[in-house]
Amino acid sequence: MRIHLATDHAGLDFLRDIADFLIQAGHEVVDHGPTDYDALDDYPGFCIRAGRGVVADLEAGVEALGVVFGGSGNGEQIAANKVPGVRAALVWNRDTAVLAKEHNNANVCAIGARQHSIDDAMLLIETFINTPFPGDERHVRRITQISHFEKTGEVPETGVNYPS
């Protein structure tokens, strides 16, 4: 699987360890930056590029996910979610990693590098990657409602199945 990574200065060392972990697990890693430590860097561009990479790969039929890091992971999640087609979830324990995939078919997870040890983060990422989306009708309906809003700007009606 291709995994797109992005961070800011707060997660740079974290990202390097995660990239090594993912490569050793057999994944292809695409690092969207930054490459050097800069305490004043801005995460939005890095995370948006990672989100765009995930969406482009998925549209091309490539199996892909994204992982974004920052001090808390909140801003990185928000930035990634601005990319149409991204469903980024803030993951802080195994349950949220599982539910992000099972209920939302999330394609990007965000993790706070200052909130977790590297070992905990690796467990969360591994859980996120390995949890399948079961495709339950209610979850598919909700995901397509979100996609409908992204495409049209129309607020979806509850219980309505929109085309994907």
Comparing C-alpha atoms, which of 119, 114, 73, 74 is closest to residue 94?
119
User: Virtual CA dihedral for 73, 127, 132, 46, nearest 10 degrees?
Assistant: 30
Q: How many domains does the chain have?
A: 2
Cα end-to-end distance, the chain, whole Å: 23
Comparing C-alpha atoms, which of 64, 66, 131 is closest to residue 96?
131
Asked whether residue 50 falls in the same domain as residue 114, the answer is: yes
Asked whether residue 87 falls in the same domain as residue 11, the answer is: yes
For residue 27, indicate whether it is catalytic: no
Q: Model-level pTM? A: 0.94
What are 105-141's pLDDT values in tens digits? 999 999 999 999 999 999 999 999 999 999 999 999 9
Catalytic residue among 4, 32, 76, 116: 76
Asked whether residue 60 falls in the same domain as residue 113, the answer is: yes
For residue 126, indicate whether it is catalytic: no
Q: At what angle do helices 118-130 and 94-104 cross, to 10 degrees?
A: 20
- Which residue carries 């972990």 as its tokens? 21
What are 22-54's pLDDT values in tens digits? 999 999 999 998 888 877 789 999 999 999 999
User: Which pLDDT band, with edges at 50, 70 and 90, does 164 fall under?
Assistant: confident
Domain span including residue 89: 2-133
| CATH number, domain containing residue 111 | 3.40.1400.10
Catalytic residue among 103, 150, 154, 157: 103
What are 55-69's pLDDT values in tens digits? 999 999 999 999 999
